[in-house]
Amino acid sequence: MKNSYLADITRGIFQENPTFRLVLGMCPTLAVTVLLKNGLGMGLAVVAVLTCSNLVISSLRRFIPEQVRIPCYIVIIATFVTIVEMVLQAFVPTLYAALGVFVPLIVVNCIILGRAEAFAGKQPVLRSLCDGIGSGLGFTLGLLLLSLVREIFGNGRQSWRRGWSMRLPRICVPGGKNSSACQASWNC
Amino acid sequence: MPDFKRLLIIVLTLVVVTAVAAGLLAVANMLTAPAITRQQEEEYRAALKEYFPQVADFKTETLEEDAFDLVYDAAGELLGVMVTTAVQGYDGPISYNLAVDKEGKILAIRIVEHSETRGVGDVIEKPQFQGQFIGKSYLDPLQPGEDVDTISGATISSSAMIDSIRRVLAVVAENFLRLEKEEPFDITAVPDGTYLGSGEGRSGDIVVEVTVAGGKITVIEIVEHGDTPAYMADAAAIIPPQIIDQQTLDVDTKTGATESSEGLVEAVLDALTRALNPEEGGESDEE
């Protein structure tokens, strides 16, 4: 049994990685991955919401009538998203400001509703919990990899280690001189 | 009956789920609200420090719905006022701070919260929009299209901000900085006599001769001007009678002959000013 829980987690990270394999949740992915810390913050917010919503939806799966399952899922997901939003605003305001509208938009993130519908609505509680953690971490991994690359190319430097910056070759990118990549190469 | 029972279960489930969700949110709100308020206060203080670097103390006054923080330095000198106010935007209220220095000039605009359309109405947060207000004061007209521009595509959001800023600036100047618009000219102080004055018309100077008798303007005669005669005739028909009737220089100009009208008023004011300060008088100083 233990193996199956582990498999639930790793499946979300690798075989069914939301970003790279399922190509779900592309809108927030593209929007927030300009800085590594934004990618990380968004990823962790999704882990929190997805884990909680999977847990609750799976526990209620026998009580929620088939016909109204989607409205119930949305209410549950929206509740957790709002709680996450309040917590971010209260304790990590810079991240809250950076993520902007994409925190409330987690509500309609297809990964979360997708996991609720495809997994948590049918599977037992503990497996759903593992699936939530796995898919959330998979999404976080996708965001981290993308933002790692985009932060360096977009700014010509990175923010997670002091005193290290990359000298970018003078590349021509769409947008010409004013695009951030080219500006970085002029300034370096 | 089973149909009815199923329906009831559906309704009850939805009610219970939403009620529990509402309860959870209320609790979460209760727990985070103090921290959020504290956070916002800290941000506000940081902004205050940024706009008024010598701030040592401030005193809050409220007038109607708005809060005015009178900012003082260590010596107790008034540095300026930071206003917290709100205006109805395109989609809900826009709450913002306006930092005004002690001369009534805008130092900064800080949008606190808004729900304008992202990518459209949120231009009110950007330097492109805010920059045009910096340094403007209650003496400026602050009229869309005149000295500040609305942003096309975000007309409602930006014109709401312009109107609100104009109103707040006037309130600050009048109530907290004790600044007022220029004193109207006191005609009764002018000694009797006939005075020459000049103002700038549409093309060239307008020279008028103003006769004052018993503290009143009795005659205004246009001595010389370079404007199109038809326009000047329009202006001359309406401006001098208004001034003489109302004994004020705050008169309506003639549409279509605005520059001639304003030139006339300017010339009369010039004549009266010379009358009050004869030592500067004599030859009109050419511009």
What values do phi and psi take at B14, rounded to 5?
-60, -45
Is A83 within 8 Å of B35 when comparing Cβ atoms?
no
- Which chain A residues are Cβ-neighbours of B18 within 8 angstroms? 75
- Shortest CA gap A158–chain B (Å): 25
User: How far lies A162's CA from each of A182, A183, A185, in Å?
Assistant: 22, 21, 19
Section A72-92 average pLDDT: 93
Asked whether the beta carbons of B228 and B202 are under 8 A apart, the reply is yes
Strands B57-63 and B66-72: antiparallel
Asked whether the beta carbons of A5 and A82 are under 8 A apart, the reply is no
Question: At A79, is the pLDDT very low, low, confident or very high (cuts 50, 70, 90)?
Answer: very high
Model confidence at B287: pLDDT above 60: no
Q: Can you give the residue ranges of every domain in chain B?
A: 53-175, 187-280
Whole-number Å distance between alpha carbons of B276 and B287: 21
Strands B193-200 and B205-213: antiparallel
Q: Which of B17, B28, B32 sits opposite A75 (nearest CB)?
A: B17
Total beta-carbon pairs less than 8 A apart between chain A and chain B: 49
pLDDT of residue A31: 84
Question: At B257, is the pLDDT very low, low, confident or very high (cuts 50, 70, 90)?
Answer: confident
Whole-number Å distance between alpha carbons of B225 and B208: 9
Residues in chain B: 287
* ipTM of the predicted assembly exceeds 0.85: no
CB contact, 8 Å: B56 with chain A?
no
Residue corresponding to tokens 């009764």: B188
Whole-number Å distance between alpha carbons of A104 and B4: 36
Distance of CA A178 to the CA centre of its chain: 30
Please name the residue of chain A whose CA is at the shortest distance from the CA of residue B24.
A79
Section B149-176 average pLDDT: 90
- Which residue, A133, A87, A81, is CA-closest to A107? A81
DSSP, res A118: I
What values do phi and psi take at A151, rounded to 5?
-65, -45
Model confidence at A119: pLDDT above 50: yes
- Shortest CA gap B21–chain A (Å): 6
- Which chain A residues are Cβ-neighbours of B111 within 8 angstroms? none
Model confidence at B113: pLDDT above 70: yes
Is B29 within 8 Å of A71 when comparing Cβ atoms?
no
CB contact, 8 Å: B28 with chain A?
yes
pLDDT of residue B280: 52
Whole-number Å distance between alpha carbons of A142 and A20: 7
Asked whether the beta carbons of A9 and A134 are under 8 A apart, the reply is yes
- Shortest CA gap B10–chain A (Å): 6
Is B24 within 8 Å of A76 when comparing Cβ atoms?
no
pLDDT of residue B261: 85
Alpha helix stretches (DSSP H) within chain A: 2-13, 26-32, 36-59, 69-91, 93-99, 110-115, 125-155, 180-187
Instruction: Please state the pTM of the whole predicted model.
Output: 0.64
What values do phi and psi take at B101, rounded to 5?
-80, 180
- Shortest CA gap A77–chain B (Å): 10
- Angle at the Cα of A81 from the Cα atoms of A75 and A84, rounded to 5 degrees: 145
Q: Can you give the residue ranges of every domain in chain A?
A: 2-155
Element (H, E) at B80: strand B78-88
Question: At A180, is the pLDDT very low, low, confident or very high (cuts 50, 70, 90)?
Answer: very low
Asked whether the beta carbons of A27 and A117 are under 8 A apart, the reply is no
- Which chain B residues are Cβ-neighbours of A68 within 8 angstroms? 10, 13-14
Class of domain B187-280: alpha beta
Asked whether the beta carbons of B169 and B137 are under 8 A apart, the reply is yes
Question: In the structure encoding, which two tokens stand for residue B91, read together?
Answer: 């989609």
Q: What count of other Cβ atoms lies within 10 Å of the Cβ of residue B256?
A: 11
User: How far lies B131's CA from each of A178, B52, B110, B149, B196, in Å?
Assistant: 21, 18, 11, 11, 43
Residue B59: CB partners within 8 Å, gap ≥ 6?
B69, B70, B72
pLDDT one-digit tens code per residue, A5-16: 889 899 989 998
Instruction: Decide: residue A176, CB within 10 A, 0-12 exposed, 13-18 middle, 19+ buried.
Output: exposed
pLDDT one-digit tens code per residue, A41-60: 899 999 999 999 999 999 99
Interface test with B, best of A72, A92, A105 (most B CBs within 10 A): A72
Q: Which long-range contacts (CB under 8 A, 24 or more apart) does B216-219 make?
A: B216/B187, B216/B188, B216/B247, B217/B187, B217/B243, B217/B244, B217/B247, B217/B268, B217/B272, B218/B244, B219/B244
